[in-house]
Structure 1
Amino acid sequence: MTRQLLKKIEWQDVRSGSTYLYGSLLRIEEDGQAILDNERMAPGKPLANFLSRTNYQGNRFSPILPILEAGQTYDVVANLETIPENRYYIQIDFFNRQNETIQSKIFRVGEERFVCPEDTFSYQLTVRSAGCSRLTYRNVTLYHVTQEASEEISLPSASYQKENLPEELDFIRDLIHLEQ
């Protein structure tokens, strides 16, 4: 199996509805990592939300997530730290064209693999609290996973004698190697 980097999702800005700010202190450092502190954050609250589809005219921001192909395999790798340790989870919700949820996947700490469901039109990735008081967000990385072919496919070679060339191949007679 090989992995191809699709997108390194960094927390670059703060928008309404995308970040849990109630009682939180959020610092985005020069090196790109974001540190969110909140001693009274309830478990299950969405800390950061990233979208694959937005209404630019209404919200004035572009989608952060790349487009995924239905039926393809992907890896999500989280480069996050929390206090207490490993107190977060990642939720990916897949939507159809009517913006109805067709599937939700919840990943715990680290690296997970998933298959994009059929009929997926858009999706969102949400980092949620599982009882943490501090989140250090470096990035979440999405990879496309491809299966390598284990065997080469060999096609049988066809050769014809000049006298037994089928009529259907007369129009390409000059392109076919004929055995003499």
Structure 2
Amino acid sequence: MADTALIKWGKRFNQAYNYGSEITLDSHQVTFSSPMMPVGTTIKAWHSKGSYGEDRVAPLLPLLKPGKTYEVIFFIQENPKNQFRVDIDFRDQFGQITATQYFEGLHFTFQYPHNAAHYSINLNNIKHETLVFYDILLIEKAEENSVRVERGEELTFIKFQASSEKFQLLIHSSDRESIMVSDSTANLLLFVSRETNFQTVLSAIIDKLETQGGHIEIKTGADVAKFSIEFQSLTEILQTYFPDRKIETDIKNTTDILTEYEIQMLLLALQKQKGK
């Protein structure tokens, strides 16, 4: 699996255009509107280097590897009245811009320069009515690995071509402002919020595992330990649903799990939902 980052809007109002703007921050999205702002003005900037004395927070963009190619996907609600441009500024250790790359679309690739010390990604206005922003994915690209992204309303799956005897599912919380994930063995990465309906998550995971035979391994990020009892019982639920498969996990919570009866009732409700 390639290095993958999920980046949110963030709470830094000084890094967004604030003059006459209406900005609403919800749990899963940000709504921005300033239709009278000038063409070419930066709506929002994300940085890989910050000043703790000024921002009091860590930068949202991850550090990148010189010479590597990265894929960037902006997840923004479609609106025919909106038009944006993205540019990336590359800076040296003194903060001076050494190069800038421009992109007309919201899905593009770029190569990180060898002489760059840090960088910023800028979302610029061409014209817009209302911008509904969800998040940004930044994925390291490798010639030997194919990557497929599937994004739902409250969860994101990223499928990698990994060389492993096991099928490994890696689950990370999407509740942080920014998160970088590195794991060379994962086949499938899931970003999900603790607020997402568990039945929705379980149904999506089962759909992905239906075609996978043999050994399945489930690994989780640290924040998943704060999720509901249903999430802590995911291994037991999947083992009940797939009785002929070996399922391993690193979920260490052994007290807050569902009973066998509760698991059966949950799976019964899932089957009714799927119309089986």
Q: TM class by shorter-chain length?
A: 0.7 to 0.9
Q: Aligned residue for 2:13?
A: 15
**C-alpha separation between the residues in 1 aligned to 2:57 and 2:94?**
21
Q: Which has the higher strand share?
A: 1
Q: 1:40 to 1:86 in 2, by over 3 A?
A: closer
Q: 1:60 to 1:131 in 2, by over 3 A?
A: same
Amino acid at match of 1:94: F
Kindly state the Cα deviation for residue 109 of structure 1 after the two structures are TM-superposed. Answer: 1.9
* SS of residue paired to 2:122: strand
1:56 to 52, 59, 81: 52
Deviations 1:92-133 (A, max 9, x none): 100011211111111122311111111110000111111113
The higher-RCO structure (CA 8 Å, 6+ apart) is 1
Once the two structures are overlaid, the 10-residue window that deviates more, 7-16 or 21-30, is: 7-16
Q: Aligned residue for 1:43?
A: 39
1:98 to 91, 94, 97: 94
The answer to whether structure 1 residue 147 and structure 2 residue 123 are counterparts is no
Identity %: 22
Q: Which has the higher helix share?
A: 2
Q: Aligned residue for 2:239?
A: none
Amino acid at match of 1:21: N
* SS of residue paired to 2:86: strand
Kindly state the Cα deviation for residue 68 of structure 1 after the two structures are TM-superposed. Answer: 0.7
**C-alpha separation between the residues in 2 aligned to 1:80 and 1:48?**
13
**C-alpha separation between the residues in 2 aligned to 1:110 and 1:83?**
13
1:134 to 113, 130, 133: 130
TM-score, normalised relative to structure 1: 0.74
Kindly state the Cα deviation for residue 39 of structure 1 after the two structures are TM-superposed. Answer: 2.6
Q: 1:97 to 1:135 in 2, by over 3 A?
A: same
What 5-or-longer segments of structure 2 have no aligned partner? 146-276
Deviations 1:107-162 (A, max 9, x none): 1223111111111100001111111131111111100011229xxxxxxxxxxxxx
CA contact (8 A) 2:82 2:129 kept: no
What 5-or-longer segments of structure 1 have no aligned partner? 150-180
Bigger radius of gyration among the two: 1
- The correspondence of residues 64-103 of structure 1 with structure 2, limited to 5 A, is 64-81=60-77, 83-103=79-99
Kindly state the Cα deviation for residue 86 of structure 1 after the two structures are TM-superposed. Answer: 4.7
Q: Aligned residue for 1:27?
A: 24
RMSD over aligned Cα atoms: 1.8
